[in-house]
Chain A
Amino acid sequence: MITIKYFGMLAEHTQCSEEQMDFKPLTLSELVQDLKVKYQLNSASFHVALNHKLIQDSEDITLQLQDEIALLPPFSGG
């Protein structure tokens, strides 16, 4: 299983803060593309974190079992 978490306006938009998916050997960018289609996220601005680390270039990363992916809108603490 892999876990996908959504925060802030993305959790509001997807009406979901966390979901689990069966593991498939996708790249991280393929997964994100699937999620963009599933939730119509093309106009949204967000960063992707994999296992708590921000990922800039997700094309060369293949998902592993137990990975935790998070879609993070712009940060606005403080």
Chain B
Amino acid sequence: MKKKTVFIEGAISPSFISDSIAKHQSKHTIGGHNIFLGQVRADEVEGKTVAAIDFTAYEDMALEQIAEIREKAFKTFNLTCMHIYHSLGKIKAGEICFFVFVSAKHSKEVYAATEYLVNIIKNKVPIFGKEIFEDNTHQWKTNIK
């Protein structure tokens, strides 16, 4: 199974996102794109504020899982294009750490595909976030099911 680039060291920059959009202008069967961007939130926990999240992953397993997820999503939603990127390393509050970009002929498919992909990646892919507070203490991030 072909493994695409998913993991990016550091934050996902707005220019990377705009370049991704620009690359699709030559694909004339596409009628709609949808994008989800995950941004690091400065949560407050017991008086302390999250300054960054340090992401790690079981990369070999994660890439295999995402390849399977991609294959299933292409079949289910009739997509033309699908791109999934997730940051590794320390991402500061306000920066983008997760970028899902899907394209299809019509809008209906891209809305459904985006929701499916975001949920399944959060729940099924071995990525781990360590929330680092401003005083350099930390806690391990948990996702709401």
Q: Is the CB of B130 within 8 A of A8?
A: yes
How would residues 114 to 126 of chain B score, 1 for a CB under 8 Å from any chain A CB and 0 otherwise? 0000100111111
Any B CB within 8 A of the CB of A31: no
- Interface locus among A20-28, A34-42, A56-64, A66-74: A66-74
Residue pairs across A and B with CB atoms within 8 Å: the count is 66
Q: Which one of B60, B97, B118, B124 lies within 8 Å of A75 (CB-CB)? A: B124
Q: Is the CB of B143 within 8 A of A78?
A: yes
Any A CB within 8 A of the CB of B61: yes
Number of residues from A at the complex interface, CB < 8 A = 16
Any B CB within 8 A of the CB of A2: no
Residues of A within 8 A of B128 (CB): 7-9, 73, 75-77
Q: Is the CB of B61 within 8 A of A75?
A: no
Q: Which A residues fall within an 8 A CB radius of B?
A: 5, 7-9, 11, 49, 52-53, 70, 72-78
Nearest 7 CB-CB pairs, A to B?
A77-B127, A8-B128, A78-B122, A52-B61, A76-B141, A76-B129, A9-B140
Q: A49-B126, A77-B143 are in contact. List 12 more A-B contacts (CB 8 A).
A: A8-B56, A9-B128, A49-B61, A52-B61, A53-B61, A70-B61, A70-B126, A74-B142, A75-B143, A76-B129, A77-B122, A78-B143
